[in-house]
Structure 1
């Protein structure tokens, strides 16, 4: 019985991810989603107490899948190169799968997951680990949290500008800017 419930929950999550690839997350219909996996809307609520709970699970699943995909590309990379590849991969994913990435970054539950930090948001944990590795290998005397905020703010801000067609993606600009942010600041 427990395995069947887990299987059904997994099917709901997979169906939700497929729907999110095709449509904006605000348009996700629980009734339609339930029907796709052969459930009534009432039966859906036996697996998820709310739409927000589903969104939390889906956010974590997508984050896990993407971080695992990115990690494969980072094997044997030095930390600075790994951070550049990480950012580049996010841009490619936004280009290839804009609805899903829009959901991951901008659905209201995603920020709740980030704030709670429980369970861990794998995509965020990956960039934080890359930053720690950079600080250690380059013996940087920087505040890890400040460097994270600078990098994440730039990456997410630049993504937002590109996605909203305010500017176009330029891999050389991305590389130059990230390299500038990763340089050790001069002593004051």
Structure 2
């Protein structure tokens, strides 16, 4: 019976712990990002910390979140140089600064519940923080859409040019054939007809015409 009660209390404590964090964040032009970790804790937790992991490695020092009855006490104990925590109600906002392109990664909010036992460290689903490098102001950014339109326009012009050349060639061949046919017909019409040879033999004269009668 005691074992059942213990497991019931343990499962209730575990299931009542939840962390919510955004799916992705784009760093500002000043290389800063604000990661908001919303936590839910039920019961009396006397020693709880919340920290941020970059992948599997710690990125921000743990921040103490002590929940006493209905109130919570926040101790600002963040010691990392480029990470600063700020408590607002049921959430801790970590301000990340001096980000670089290599800092683009998954960041996880993690609770460390040390007391009462057992020790638990539930973790959020992770937030992808994206750092974008600044484009040089003297360079004109090229968009993929404009490039695709440029190549499509060139392809259309090439096809139309090829079509015009083929049509012109066919018209030239057709006109040449028609002209040749007309020349042949004119030559045929201008030819002198060959007369038939006079191969008629003198016929037999009538006796009356011969003077015999």
RCO (CA 8 Å, sep 6+): is it higher in 1 or 2?
Answer: 1
* TM-score normalised over the length of structure 1: 0.25
More helix by share: 1
* TM-score normalised over the length of structure 2: 0.22
More strand by share: 2
